[in-house]
Structure 1
Amino acid sequence: MADKIYDLGAGFWNVQGSFHLGGVINVGTQCSLVQLESGRFIFLDSYTLTDEIRKQVMALTNDGKDVEAVLNVHPFHTVHCAQMAKDFPEAIFYGSERHPEKVPEVEWADERVESDAVTQRYPELEFSISKGIYYISPNEKVHAGSLLVRHLASQSVHVDDTFMSPPTKILKAVLPEVMLHPTTKQALKDEPDAGKIYCDWATELAHQWRDTRNFCAAHSGLVKFEVGGFEKALVAAIDKARPKLEKA
């Protein structure tokens, strides 16, 4: 599967790339490029850009010089950070507490990507960190928690792992458009009502971001919605999972 870049309008581009699980199965990954009101750019997530996509991104960003920051919004997505730092050496790299531990060769900003300081720096975006589940799970195989981002102008949501869509055309025919990450139950915090807290957070997010048109997910691609479609799909996924999660 070749890498693809989607121009979603209003200064938002989503790159759907490749990530081979165990070096064999391509489960996909992503990054997004956002043009700020200042005319400069930021990336959401790191990904190694190649060939025509790299040329297009470099043409848009003055050969990378206009990229001011890279916001790495998933604590466990670290594979491409070092290469991204080489490709965009003038950019500020924001990450979670886990990023400097796993990729120490990158010069990371002192401010965490989920901090209020970063949120306030980019009014073009809305952020929501998953609640009720671990943002950084003590289990390295549990990746359900993340920092979700919504680009207001293009009505695009960029999310890694927390919410997904079916990854193939065959599965899209039989599965719902939006699903919860399969490790969500394992990611619940060891706290009272963690399942309810998670479900309430996700439901409220669905309502707040109901006008989402573009759903960009790391391991399952791009889904386009009519207004209200994302809200309906996410609420349905939460309602289905709520009984099991609240009993956990």
Structure 2
Amino acid sequence: MARRLVNLGNGFWNIRCTMKFAGLINLGTQVSIVRLNSGRFVFLDSYALHGEIRDLVMALTKDGSLVEAVLNLHPFHTLHCEAMARDFPKARFYGSERHHRQCPAVFWQTETVESDTVAEIFGDDLQFSLPAGIDYISEDEKVHAGSLLAFHPASGSIHVDDTLNILPVPHFMRGRIQRLTLHPSLQKALTSDDGAAEDFCAWLEVLGRRWSNARTLCAAHNGVLRFGEGEFEQLARTIAARARAKLIE
């Protein structure tokens, strides 16, 4: 998967990035750019920009001078935070408590990215949702199901790392296999609270209703999925029902 900039319209761009496992297999990752109503920009997640993509981003943001903030949404996506901080030194950086620990060289804002304060600061342009019933930061470093989801109503774009995945289904099989799915480590991410699995399923159903006008979902490792009218809400209900059957019943 080559690095590419995808314009999803109305001030939302998604960059499909390269992330190789063992230097061979490209798992893919992402960063999104949102133009705020103010005309300034925020990044969703971090990535070390190079080549043509970097040139395009710098032209869009006037050499980074218009970048207001970088919101690092997934606590286990930390590889590129320091590079982003070097590229955009005047931006405010928000991350989880784990970002603060893993990347101490970055000057982090006191408020964590999942806080109500951050949601209020950017509430005119973005909506956020933290999944219920699962750990945002798991004690098991291999469990990455928890993440903070972001929605840009103006473009109908959802940015999500890991909690929701897109299966890389071949074109001839699409329509037969549901491409939107949950992260495979979800069961291990459940909290120890009674009813945690039901809390997660209920959260997903509410998310579908709340963001029912979503038109696109950008997932960290498998690309971009587009929806017809009302399709995201329907898919959220379907996935929640399957998760409920597997985790509870």
Q: What is the number of equivalent residue pairs in this alignment?
A: 247
The 5 Å alignment of 1:212-231 reads: 212-231=214-233
Q: Which runs of 5+ in 1 are unaligned?
A: none
With structure 2 as the length reference, what TM-score do the two structures score? 0.96
Aligned twin of 1:205? 207
- In the other structure, the counterpart of 1:41 is 41
- Find the aligned partners of 1:241 and 1:195 in 2 and give their Cα distance: 8
**Distance change in 2, residues 1:207/1:172 (3 Å):** farther
Match of 1:180 in 2: 182
Per the alignment, residue 79 of structure 2 pairs with 79
Corresponding letter in the other structure for 2:19: F
- Following superposition, the deviation at residue 238 of structure 1 comes to 1.6
Pairs within 5 Å for 1:182-197: 182-197=184-199
RMSD of aligned C-alpha atoms? 1.3
Contact conserved, 1:71 with 1:113, CA < 8 A, in 2? yes
CA contact (8 A) 1:166 1:172 kept: no
Matched, 1:246 2:228: no
Q: Once structures 1 and 2 are overlaid, which stretch shifts more, 198-207 or 173-182?
A: 173-182
Aligned twin of 1:147: 148
- Following TM superposition, by how much is the alpha carbon of 1:177 offset from its aligned partner in structure 2, in angstroms? 2.3
How far apart are the structure 2 equivalents of 1:149 and 1:13? 13
Counterpart-to-counterpart distance in 2, 1:171 and 1:157: 26
Q: CA deviation at 1:12?
A: 0.5
| Equivalent position of 2:51 in the other structure | 51
What residue identity is the alignment partner of 1:144?
A: A
* Contact persistence 2:47–2:80 (CA under 8 A): yes
Contact preservation (8 Å) 1:177, 1:233: no
Looking at structure 1, the residues matched to 168 and 88 of structure 2 have their Cα atoms a distance apart, in angstroms, of 30
What amino acid does structure 2 have at the position aligned with 1:163? L
Distance between the aligned counterparts of 1:57 and 1:168, measured in 2?
30
